[in-house]
Amino acid sequence: MATVADIKKAIADWNDHCKRVRSLTPITMSVAKESPSERDRRIRRLQSNYAAFCEYYFPHYLTLRDKVTGEALRVIHNAPFHNAAAMKVKNTPNLKAVFKWPRGHAKSTHFDIFLPLWLMFQPKRLINFMVVVGKSEDSANRLLADIQAELEYNQRIISDFGEQKSAGTWTEGEFKTQSVNKFLAVGRGQSPRGLRDRESRPDYIVIDDLDDDELCRNEKRVKDLTDWVKEALFGALDVGRGRFIMVGNLISKCSVLANLCNTKGVHVSEIKAIDRNGNPVWAEKWTKEEAQEYADFVGFRAWNKEMMHNPINDGSIFRHDWIRFKRLPKLEKYEMLVCYTDPSFKSTSANDYKASRLWGKIGTELHLIDCYVRQDTVSGMVRWLYDLYERTRDRVAISFFMEANFMQDIILDEFAAEGNLRGYQLPLLPDKRKKPEKIQRIEAVSPLWERGFVFYNEALKDSPDMQVGIEQTLALERGSRVHDDAPDADEGAIWYLQRNTRQSTFKPVLVPRPRPKNMW
Q: What is the pLDDT of residue 11?
A: 93
Query: Using CA atoms, how far apart are residues 165 and 258, in angstroms rounded to an integer?
Result: 38
Please name the amino acid found at residue 320.
Answer: H
Q: Report the distance separating Cα 323 and Cα 301, nearest Å.
A: 12
Report the interhelical angle of 300-307 vs 464-475 (nearest 10°).
70
CB atoms within 10 A of CB 30: 9
- C-alpha torsion 436→437→438→444, nearest 10: -60
The phi, psi pair for 99, rounded to 5°, reads -110, 100
pLDDT reported for residue 520: 42
Strand partners, 75: 63
Q: Where are the domains of the chain?
A: 4-33+77-271, 320-500
Do residues 256 and 226 make contact, with C-beta atoms less than 8 angstroms apart? yes
Question: In this predicted structure, what is the pLDDT of residue 517?
Answer: 54
- Whole-number pLDDT of residue 7: 86
CA 70 to chain centre: 32
For the segment(s) 4-33+77-271, the CATH number from 3.40.50.970, 2.60.40.3880, 3.40.630.30, 3.40.50.300 is: 3.40.50.300
pLDDT of residue 83: 97
Query: Left if phi > 0, otherwise alpha if psi is -120 to 50, otherwise beta: which for 277?
Result: alpha
List of the chain residues with pLDDT < 50: 347-351, 504-506, 508, 519-520
d(CA 500, CA 429): 15
How high is the pLDDT of residue 313?
A: 64
Predicted confidence at residue 320, as pLDDT, reads: 84
At residue 316, the pLDDT reads 74
Three-state DSSP class for 351? coil
Are 4-33+77-271 and 320-500 in the same CATH fold? no
Query: In what helix (H) or strand (E) does residue 493 lie, and over which residues does it extend?
Result: helix 485-500
CATH class name, domain 320-500? alpha beta
> What is the spatial distance between Cα 204 and Cα 182, in angstroms, rounded to a whole number?
10
Q: What is residue 504's predicted lDDT score, i.e. its pLDDT?
A: 44
What is the pLDDT at residue 519? 39
